[in-house]
Amino acid sequence: MANIKDIAKQCGVNPATVSRALNGQKGVSENVRSNILKTARKLGYSKNPLAASLITKKSGLIGLVVPDITNPYYAQVAKGVSSILEKQGYAIFLCDSDRQPQIERHYFEMLCNYRVEGVILMSVTATEEDLEIFLRNQIKVICVDNPISKKYSSVCNDNYQGACDLIEHLVLSAKVRRLVALMGTAEANTTKQRLRGCIDTLTKLNCRESLIEVLHITPTYQGGLEAASELEKLNADSVFCINDSVALGVFSYCQQHQIKVPQQLKIAGYDDLAEASMISVPLTTVHQRKYVLGQKAASQLLSELSNPLTTPIKIELLPQLKIRKSCGEDLS
């Protein structure tokens, strides 16, 4: 691979001049510059950003941490992030933590080692201390969907509000009386907020006792499938699932066991995955603008990168209740 010296030699100039010309800096006469550009093309030159970063301290790398890229929610956010960063020529360093804290921490270290300029962080497990490594290394972080630290900006969907809207519908329109909440780990931010929205709303509506049980499960399709039998034992008439994947799992169980939805069990999800509207009893759920969320996060990071002194901000996107058929109402 041709390098900057080769070009310098060919053109009979100094490597520094080549660097200036290639980077569009001023201080190079037009004919020298055009000559340099021409031979660069001729030699198939392409700059080594890794070498440049050693001096400029700008690696052009952005870390993207997700709990699970096969979860459509995270995939969509990732795509939003990617769409923005690609245009700006940044490279994405993908870190799928598989929801395991130790893998996540391992990635945090790697990200620092690779001198990423910033991190878009989607984490359900990371703590404020976990993020100190970025503070030490002066790496910008944008927390997505989980404002782990006030030292960093966050962009979130308003989980609390989404849950409030959904539960209100469940109580007032769907008339649920024996509700079970199928949540993720109790520490997870989404779980905390949605559960709080749920409980606050029930309390407000004077039917706190309708929530007969809160189960903390692995928030996946499989998790929902496995937890569904519990619902029968509890004689629940409805279930509020932490996300659509779980809801889909529960729904699948119902189909296998001839449990009628919504007659025998009302199912509410969260996220509005594409599949949610495809199943035979379309799922009532909460729509979140995932792609936009990713875009906002990336834009915010870029803005903080070019303007390092900004103080952290908080961006919240409002979710949207999607009433379909799985809770016995269809107003669409």
Interaction partner, residue 59 (DNA, its own copies, none; CB < 5-8 Å by kind): its own copies
Beta-carbon contacts of residue 49 (< 8 Å; ≥ 6 apart)? 59, 60
Is the Cβ–Cβ distance between 225 and 241 less than 8 Å? no
Based on the shown chain and the rule CB under 7 A, indicate whether residue 91 belongs to the binding site for DNA: no
Residue 5 and residue 7: Cα distance in Å, rounded?
Answer: 5
Is 56 among the residues that bind DNA (CB under 7 A)? yes
DSSP label at residue 124: S
Type of residue numbered 164: C
Q: Helix 4-11 and helix 15-22: axis angle, to 10°? A: 110
Contact 214, 183 (CB under 8 A): yes
Which one of 10, 38, 52, 325 is in contact with DNA (CB under 7 A)? 52
Cβ(139)–Cβ(116) under 8 Å?
A: yes
Stretch that binds DNA, among 42-50, 149-157, 193-201, 216-224 (CB under 7 A): 42-50
Cα dist. 198→62, 173, 206, 221, 266 in Å? 36, 15, 12, 22, 16
Q: Which does 172 bind (CB under 5 to 8 A by kind): its own copies, DNA, none?
A: none
> What's the closest the beta carbon of residue 202 comes to its own copies, in angstroms?
29
Question: In angstroms, rounded to a whole number, what is the distance separating the alpha carbons of residues 65 and 146?
Answer: 12
Using alpha carbons, select from 123, 129, 161 the residue that is nearest to residue 144.
123
- Interface of this chain with its own copies, residues 96 to 125, rule: CB under 8 A: 96, 98, 103, 106-107, 109-110, 112-115
Give yes or no for residue 92 binding its own copies (CB under 8 A).
yes
Q: Is 6 in the site for its own copies (CB under 8 A)?
A: no
Return the number of the residue (20 or 194) whose C-beta is nearest DNA.
Answer: 20
Measured from the CB of residue 25, what is the shortest distance to its own copies in angstroms?
19
Q: How far is Cα 68 from Cα 83, in angstroms, rounded to an integer?
A: 19
Q: Considering only 6-14, 95-103, 162-170, 297-305, which stretch makes contact with its own copies by CB under 8 A?
A: 95-103
- Segment near DNA (CB under 7 A); pick from 9-17, 61-69, 88-96, 278-286: 9-17
Smallest distance from its own copies to CB 281, Å: 8
The item of DNA, its own copies, none sharing an interface with residue 152, based on CB under 5 to 8 Å by kind, is: none
64: contact with its own copies by CB under 8 A = yes
Chain-centroid distance, C-alpha 92: 14
Q: What is the DSSP letter of 319?
A: P
Residue 218 lies near its own copies (rule: CB under 8 A): no
Rounded least distance, CB 98 to DNA, Å = 28
Distances (CA, A) of 308 to 75, 212, 301, 304: 28, 49, 10, 5
Residues in contact with its own copies by CB under 8 A are 1, 44, 46-51, 53-54, 59-60, 64, 68-70, 72, 75-76, 78-79, 82-83, 86, 89, 91-96, 98, 103, 106-107, 109-110, 112-115, 136-137, 221, 248, 251-252, 255, 274-275, 277-280
Binding-site ranges for DNA (CB under 7 A): 1, 3-5, 12-20, 22-23, 26-29, 32-33, 45, 47-48, 51-52, 54-56
